[in-house]
Amino acid sequence: MIKVLTVLGARPQFIKAAALSRIFQSNPNFEEVIVHTGQHFDANMSEIFFDELNIPKPAYNLNVNGLGHGAMTGQMLAGVEEIIIKEKPDYVLVYGDTNSTIAGALAAKKLQVKVVHVEAGLRSFNIAMPEEINRILTDRISDVLCCPTDAAIRNLATEGFENFPSTIVKTGDVMQDAARYYAERVDVNNELRKLNLLPGKFILCTLHRAETTDNPEILFSVLGALKEIADQHIDVVIPLHPRTKAKLRDADLGKIKIIDPIGYLSMIALLKSCKLVMTDSGGLQKEAYFFDKYCITLRNETEWIELIENGYNYIAGYNRKLILDLFATLINKSWKSGVELYGGGLASIKITEAIEAHYNR
């Protein structure tokens, strides 16, 4: 029996865990213990995911949130360390690039417990991003690196990982596993009725990264473009975190439709029904592709370069004119089918196989 301690903390990690935990549950060779750090503590961003995605409830919740990077990461590290000592897992598994990710990996490595990093090898090449620091450091101390794409494998090779005692496996992306599974279980019409939306008549947008929301010049440049689109062309729907919503309390948003954070099934309904996606999120760039939607990325870089290379994703940065120009180009552009970029929904199985192979070697 292989005992895996999974450390989660943020919305995308809950969704990834929904796919992988289902495979753990069906495989008699695995026992999984889930730790929720508490990083996302709003009910719509945390508990709802465990409920609607049928993820096993966490055995532990550290309730660490609302702190600066150092304090948050430190408290998470200390909390996960205590749980590792108690549970004695064979592996600690972490997802992505959050403070929960690096805290879980550091706690494990300092206790000489092997680390599995799901979504390894991704790089934005922007070291100013806290996420970039987290992913680089987590990769460096991981024992099993589960890479979603060829580009991720190449990044690790460029950084000399062949000289490190780690196992690198191309697994595909667990987000695609989850998207395919839950897309069949969504009542799209019901979700749209709740939000008073019509299919194909709106743009789905998200804004949450600190470099976007904490810089007023950037935030209002992006919002200016979105306001022009909403006022003159088509509805723009933004599920908005309470912290960002507070920054916009007195702003003129025109016809932009701000809604509260939503669960994953509701997000799938919006993805399936929208005309176009605009986002500063890493995960939503891929999810747009999963549901045959072009994406305008409201950042200066992306980890998902294969989407750029294949013409599914376009980087606008924070430039109002470029955002509007790309909107005009893509709003009525026909979707082009292409190669399968993310593993075709088999990533979770390949990850469990990689862990078993590493354990039995």
Q: Which positions are annotated as active-site residues? A: 208
Q: Say which residue the tokens 């470099």 belong to.
A: 211
5 phi, psi to nearest 5 deg: -100, 115
CB-based contact 178:18 (threshold 8 Å): yes
Residues 269 and 10: their CA atoms lie apart, in Å, by 21
Q: Identify the three-state secondary structure at position 239.
A: strand
Residue 45 φ/ψ, nearest 5 degrees = -110, 0
Whole-number Å distance between alpha carbons of 283 and 97 = 11
In the chain, the N- to C-terminal Cα span, in Å, equals 15
Q: Is the dihedral of CA 57, 282, 250, 225 positive or negative?
A: negative
Whole-angstrom distance, CA of residue 223 vs CA of residue 54: 35
